[in-house]
Amino acid sequence: MKAFKELMSWIVPIAIGLLLALLIKQFAFQFVRVDGPSMQPNLQNNERVVCLKQAKIHRGSVVVFDANGVDPQVSVKTEYVKRVIGLPGDTVEAKNGNLYVNGKKVDQSYISKSERSSGTGTWTLHSISQENSWVLHNGAYKVPKGEYFVLGDHRSVSNDSRYWGFVPKSKIVGVVKVGFWNRTQPAKNNINQQWKHFFADN
């Protein structure tokens, strides 16, 4: 009996710890590794970030989502990291590299001049949906209810909503935040705080 109590004194705390870790990962946050260059210069390949599962999604928020069922080329669970540009009901278009959401110019100071111009280009939701033969919402003029339009920061290499369409809310894992371990302050602010000044002043 003494041996059993001693064994349980080890097992119970371990079981509680594992349960708490599981609950935190399921409902609060998890660590995510960035794969690829599509969010440069603000997130680097193999960089570790925190994904907050209960955080509100804003225009300008960087999110993690499961691309399986979103990108037609993906057939297994694969997590993409992209920036939200359009919320449900928004119109989104690009003119000579400038982004406009609901007719208002977006502040793109978080990316380089070349990514703002040649990397972004000129298009509307309607034109890219047809040009890239979106499987769903082909011919859309605005972001559908319950879905989001996302872009990578490194526009010239990013595989994003321009090519396959919108991301359903059900596919979004959470909002990305860069932790204290990253000392690159401008890049950190461009991930954590850019949503606060999403639109340009003029």
Alpha helices in 109-184 (DSSP H): 113-116, 125-131, 161-164
Q: Dig out the tokens for 123 from the structure.
A: 């298009």
Residue 8: other Cβ atoms inside 10 A? 11
Q: Percent of the chain beyond pLDDT 70?
A: 83
Strands (DSSP E) along 87-156, which ranges?
A: 92-95, 98-101, 104-105, 123-124, 147-151
Residues noted as catalytic: 38, 82
pLDDT at 110 over 90: yes
Residue 196: other Cβ atoms inside 10 A? 9
pLDDT at 183 over 70: no
Alpha helices in 84-180 (DSSP H): 113-116, 125-131, 161-164
Find out whether 165 and 150 touch, Cβ atoms under 8 Å.
Answer: no
Global pTM value: 0.84
Identify the pLDDT of residue 72: 93
More confidently predicted of 142 and 17? 142
Residue type, 154: H
In the block, tokens 């300008």 appear at 60
